[in-house]
Structure 1
C-alpha cells in the first residue's frame, strides 16, 4: 500500500509552487503535520485553505477529511503493538492453516517489495559497502538488532572496518564520536520507531555520515536523514512483524559486497578458515584409517 508521503513524492513535479510549499510542510513532520485542522495546516505552510483543498484532490483524495483519514490509518499502523496486530489479523483470519496463511503473506510481501525495489538504490548501497576505505557501522532496535548483528557477522568476514553498535542506549554517542564524513551507518528501524535511533541518525547525518536505512512501507522518521532507503513489506498474520524480506535483501547485499572484491574477500576468508582450524572451533568429520591387508 502506498503511503501519503509516497503519493506526494510521486506527484511532486506536478504541483504548483504553493502546493510544493504545502507538501514540504506536510513531509517535514510527517504524518503528524497533516493531522491538524485544515486552517492550521494552511497557516503552518503559509498557503491558502483552497490550496490545501486543491492539492489533496490532486493527490487523489475526495477531500481533506479523506486525506486525514488515510494519515490516521497510517499512524495507527505504525504505533500498533503486538496485541493489537494479533487481534486485527485474528478477526479476519480465514479457515486455512496458519502455515499456509503465513506463507502466502510472506510470498506476497516479497513480491510487492521487489516490485517497488529501486535497483539503482540497491547498487548504490552495495557500492558504498564494498568500498573498503569507508568504515561501516550497523545498528538496530529492540527486535531488529538481530538483523544488524547478522549483517555485521557476514560483513566482518568479507571486509575490515565493520563495527556493530551496542544496543545500550547510553553508548551510541561514543560510536558516533569516531565516525567521519563519508563513513557508512546501516540502520534497521521498523514501526514503533525508536526515538534513540532517530536521534542517532539525525546527529550522524549532520556529521556527513552516509546512512542506509532498512524500514517498513510506512517509513521510519529516519527516512529524511538517509541516503538510501529500503522500504519493505513486513505484515504477516501474527502479533509480530516479519523479517523475511529484510533478511532477503540483507543476504543479497552480502553477496553483492563479497563479489565486488572477490579476490581480496577470498584471501580474507582463507585466513579466517586457518584461524578456525587453529582454534578447533568447528567439529571435523572423523576420518577412518584404511584397513591393512587381512591376515590369512
Structure 2
C-alpha cells in the first residue's frame, strides 16, 4: 500500500511503537480531535499537546512529510474527501478510471480495502470487542443511520439469535432518546457511522457515554466524530470506483465478529438456535423438502 493511500491517522498508528514518549503524547493529542487538531498553527498544536515545537516538526517528518505545511495540506485533502457527495465521488473516479471491466476494477479496490483495513486492526482489540458483545450480563444496543442501518440490522438479527437483551436503534428516527431511558453503565452500544456523518448518531453516542455505557464504533478510514466517545473503534476503508462508498470491508468485519461471538457462549447460543428452529417448524415459515 503506497504511503499516499494512507490517512494521517493510519500513519500515526503505524508509527506509534517507533515514537518517543513526547511524540506519542503528541500523536494521541492529534487523534483525540482528528483531523481538526492539526489544522491550526504548529505552535498551537504543540501547546495543546503540551510538547515542544521541535517535537511536532520531528514527528511530522517521521510520518513522511517534508514539513508542517505538507502535513496540513494532507489533512485538508482528507477533509475534502470526507465531505464529498456521491456525485462528486463519481466524477473523481470517472476522470481517472483505468481501463478494464468494472467487475475487475471494483473487485480489486475492495480486496485492497480489505487487506489494508485488516492490517490496521489489533487482534487484542478485536477480541476485547467480541468479549463485550458476548457478555450476557451486559445489555447490547445496536445503532444504525440512514445508510448504515442495513449493517446494523444485519448484526442485530444475528446477535438476537446468539444472545438475549439485544435492541436495535435507528438514529434517524425521533424515538432513539426513548432507548436511553434505561441504559446502565454496563451496557454496550455498537454504533455504525460513515461519511457523511450523522448529527443524531453523534448526540446519541455522547448521551450513552454520559450514562457510562461502553461504545464500539464501526466507521471509515477518516473516522466519525463518534470516535471521541468510543472505547473501541474499527476503521475500514470504503472507497471504490463508484459514486457510492463500499460496505464490503465493514460487512466482512461484522461477519467475523458474529463468528467469534457465537463461540463465546456456544452452549447457550446452540440452545437458542434449536428453540428458534423449533418455532420456525411450528410456524412453517420456511419450506422443507424432506
Q: TM-score, normalised by structure 1?
A: 0.87
Aligned pair in 2 of structure 1 residues 16, 119: CA closer, same or farther (>3 Å)?
closer
Q: How does 1:117-136 map to 2 (within 5 A)?
A: 117-136=121-140
Q: How does 1:15-94 map to 2 (within 5 A)?
A: 15=20, 17=22, 23=27, 25-38=29-42, 41=45, 52-94=56-98
* Structure 2 counterpart of 1:190, from 176, 194, 217: 194
Aligned pair in 2 of structure 1 residues 161, 208: CA closer, same or farther (>3 Å)?
same
Q: Report how many aligned residue pairs link the two structures.
A: 285
CA distance in 2, matches of 1:228, 1:61: 28
Match of 2:6 in 1: 2
- Structure 1 or 2, whichever has the larger Rg, is 1
What RMSD, in angstroms, separates the aligned Cα atoms of the two structures? Answer: 2.3
1:236 Cα deviation from its structure 2 partner: 0.9
* Structure 2 counterpart of 1:165, from 152, 164, 169: 169
**Contact map agreement 2:37 2:45 (CA 8 A) in 1:** yes
SS at match of 1:235: coil
CA distance in 2, matches of 1:176, 1:148: 17
Match of 1:292 in 2: none
Whether 1:272 and 2:276 are equivalent positions in the alignment is: yes
SS at match of 2:181: helix
Match of 2:108 in 1: 104
Match of 1:152 in 2: 156
Match of 1:143 in 2: 147
- Offset from partner CA, 1:207-229 (integer Å, 9 cap, x none): 22111111111211122221221
CA distance in 2, matches of 1:4, 1:202: 25
SS at match of 2:270: helix
Match of 1:203 in 2: 207
Match of 1:291 in 2: none
Q: TM-score, normalised by structure 2?
A: 0.89
- Offset from partner CA, 1:142-165 (integer Å, 9 cap, x none): 111100001001110111100001
Aligned pair in 2 of structure 1 residues 261, 67: CA closer, same or farther (>3 Å)?
same
SS at match of 1:177: coil
1:3 Cα deviation from its structure 2 partner: 2.4
Structure 1 residue ranges without an equivalent (≥5) = 288-296
Structure 2 residue ranges without an equivalent (≥5) = none
Whether 1:237 and 2:241 are equivalent positions in the alignment is: yes
User: Which moves more between the two structures, 118-127 or 107-116?
Assistant: 107-116
**Contact map agreement 2:191 2:218 (CA 8 A) in 1:** yes
User: Which moves more between the two structures, 2-11 or 170-179?
Assistant: 2-11
**Contact map agreement 2:130 2:260 (CA 8 A) in 1:** yes
1:71 Cα deviation from its structure 2 partner: 0.2
- Offset from partner CA, 1:97-138 (integer Å, 9 cap, x none): 111111111111122222222111121111111111111000
- Offset from partner CA, 1:8-28 (integer Å, 9 cap, x none): 4555573464x6665555334
